[in-house]
Amino acid sequence: MRLTRHTASLAFVLLTALASLARTDEGKVKETALDAPNNVKIKVRMEGPYTADVPLQVVCYFKYTPEGAKRMSGAPVELDKHLGGVIGALRERGEFAGDQLETFLIIPPKDSIKAKALLLVGLGDEDALSLNLMEGVGRVSMREAARLGVNRVAFAPLLRDQGNSKLGTGDVETAVVRGMLLAYDTQKRLQKEALSKEFTLDEWNVEAGPTYFDKTVTGIQKAIEQSGKLIKDRGAEPYLKTR
């Protein structure tokens, strides 16, 4: 069947529109959004710590060893490339050793990564890795966000990229997000009694690759459920005792 000039023109316009739509879809970051206590929106996003456009990006590192540095691959390697080797230099010189819950704040060089600030959190020795520690990481990260006054945070544990598979991906995010949500609830309660400066966390983004995306979502759903119950059990007694 032969196409008329008019029909051919319509076909061309349709194909062009479909191609444009496909390019738009390809440019989108896959994400799942979840509602958490205290009106925090938690998003699982399929992106890396060097592409997240947020006020604060948080990443975790085990205590530095030359052997551990050689095993590192993927996101932390790319992150440090974007930063011009700053993280590697700090670790090799012992200036950020990576002890348990040690923190180090970096202001990224211009045109390096999208995040305005980068927080390194130490995990200590690999053998000591536990879910209790990861819950502590969530608490520390939230408190640093409150200190800095940022309302959006992106988080990447980077455990698999450092060659460690001791803990399940979903379990790690359950622990981290539970620690973060409980610490934020404390922060909001303190604010009500004028014991802390005003701070609102609107969004907590968890970065996950395609292999672990679904497990991460499931882990966060558990954290939201557990945190909601624990927050209710805390009661409403004020911190400040009557003088």
DSSP conformation letters of 100-146: TT-EEEE-PPTTT-S-SEEEEEEEE-GGG--HHHHHHHHHHHHHHHH
pLDDT at 16: 41
44 neighbors 102 (Cβ within 8 angstroms): no
The answer to whether residues 173 and 154 touch, using CB atoms and an 8 Å cutoff, is no
Q: Give the CA dihedral 145, 94, 47, 142, nearest 10 degrees.
A: -20
First CA to last CA distance, the chain: 92
What confidence score (pLDDT) does residue 27 get? 64
Residue with tokens 């710590």: 49
pLDDT for the residue 243? 59
Q: Which residues pair with 153 in a beta bridge?
A: 56, 204
pLDDT of residue 24: 36
Which residues, at least 6 apart from 204, have a Cβ–Cβ distance to it below 8 Å? 36, 40, 41, 42, 43, 152, 153, 155, 177, 180
**Residues of the chain predicted below pLDDT 70:** 1-27, 243
Q: Retrieve residue 73's tokens.
A: 């691959």
Predicted confidence at residue 241, as pLDDT, reads 87
Exposed (0-12), middle (13-18) or buried (19+): which is 46, by Cβ within 10 Å?
middle
Q: Is 86 helix (H, G, I), strand (E, B) or coil?
A: helix
pTM score, two decimals?
A: 0.87
Tokens of 16: 């062009």
Q: Give the integer Cα–Cα distance in Å for 153 and 213.
A: 18
Q: What are phi and psi of 163, to 5 degrees?
A: 80, 20
Closest CA to 113 of 72, 89, 80: 80
